Amino acid sequence: MHFTPLDLARLVVVLTIEGSVCCLAWARRLYKPLPVFTGYLTAVVVCDILRFSVIFTLGPRSKTEFVVYWTTQWILVMIRAAVIYEICHRLLAAYPGVWRLCKMVLSLLAMALIFVTWIDATKQGPWIARFFLTLDRGFELEVLGILVVVSFFCRYYHIPVDRLVGLIVAGLSLYSALTILNDTFASHWFMPLLVVWREIRGDSFELAEGIWFAAIALWKPLQERQRAPVLLDSEVYSEMTVVVTVRLRELNARLEEILR
């Protein structure tokens, strides 16, 4: 198949960005605080090299290319789900009661979204591309919903968020939001928008990679996770802490008792 210079240039740019972010993450030893996220960056590079190799040899619309694309896509989806879990755990693990409650809520939310997505996908007809698009959109809705809820929770209760983790969340949220919009339009006009759909999906991920590159480049080693704070007397709270922190500690203590 013939590729234009623009196609080849775009391929080089994509692999350069992804490879640079991956190499920077390993060089800065990001695998120590965030091993799953570092593994995800590595898997992205490997999967894209495989995809581009198939496109060069068999063409962009071959059956093999379709199978390889969606197989690698769902491998990355599963790893990204593990990344979401890793980030949520890092943000909330200092409060065991709160973390248990969040795991329960997130599990119920995941099952509900999977069920709704499956029902919606079966209404799309036998066309397998529409089926995958619907499942993909449902997953991205789940990711975006989880990140928004956890971010709001941390902001409301003044839980400190490291800048690196915050920018990782921003990149994931941006990618999920753009993918949801992209899948929504593509599910109605898939064939006319097939090329545009892939371009938007790829470009939105490169935007997220750019955010992560800046985050890792400016990153300073994360401090050790803080243990859950020791609950003090109410008199000390009134003098040394704000009301929001008091509510969080009380909530954590009650949840630990309830969820034992």
pLDDT of residue 16: 92
- Residue 227 covered by a domain: no
pLDDT of residue 239: 52
CA distance 143 to 216: 22
Query: What percent of the chain lies above the pLDDT cut of 90?
Result: 23
Q: According to DSSP H, which parts of 3-156 are helical?
A: 5-27, 35-58, 63-92, 96-122, 128-156
Instruction: Determine the average pLDDT of the residues in 30-35.
Output: 92
Please give the residue range of the domain that contains residue 202. 5-220+232-258
The 10s digit of each residue's pLDDT in 120-157 is 555 544 455 566 667 777 788 888 888 888 888 888 77
Top-confidence residue, 196 or 135? 135
Identify residue 171 by its one-letter amino acid code. G
8 Å CB contact between 39 and 79: yes
The 10s digit of each residue's pLDDT in 70-98 is 789 889 988 998 999 899 888 887 777 77
- Residue 50 covered by a domain: yes
Instruction: Determine the average pLDDT of the residues in 31-45.
Output: 94
- Say yes or no to pLDDT of 64 above 70: yes
8 Å CB contact between 42 and 76: no
pLDDT of residue 187: 57
pLDDT of residue 34: 93
Helix 128-156 to helix 63-92 angle, to the nearest 10 degrees? 10
Top-confidence residue, 139 or 176? 176
pLDDT of residue 102: 73
* pLDDT category of residue 111 using cuts at 50, 70 and 90: confident
pLDDT of residue 154: 84
- Residue 36 covered by a domain: yes
Helix 5-27 to helix 35-58 angle, to the nearest 10 degrees? 160
- Residue 116 covered by a domain: yes
- Residue 225 covered by a domain: no
* pLDDT category of residue 43 using cuts at 50, 70 and 90: very high
- Residue 79 covered by a domain: yes
8 Å CB contact between 129 and 192: no
Helix 128-156 to helix 163-188 angle, to the nearest 10 degrees? 150
**Residues 117, 120, 124, 130: what is their CA dihedral angle, to the nearest 10 degrees?**
-20
- Residue 199 covered by a domain: yes
For tokens 């029902």, what's the residue? 119
What's the residue count for the chain?
260
Q: Is residue 179 exposed (0-12), middle (13-18) or buried (19+ Cβ within 10 Å)?
A: buried
| Range scoring the smallest mean pLDDT among 49-58, 145-154, 160-169, 192-201 | 192-201
- Say yes or no to pLDDT of 14 above 60: yes
Instruction: Determine the average pLDDT of the residues in 52-77.
Output: 83
SS3 call for 35: helix
pLDDT of residue 29: 92
Domain count within the chain:
1
CA distance 138 to 141: 5
- Say yes or no to pLDDT of 35 above 90: yes
8 Å CB contact between 172 and 76: no
- Residue 226 covered by a domain: no
pLDDT of residue 19: 94
> Which candidate, 72, 22, 78, places its Cα nearest to that of 48?
72
pLDDT of residue 158: 81
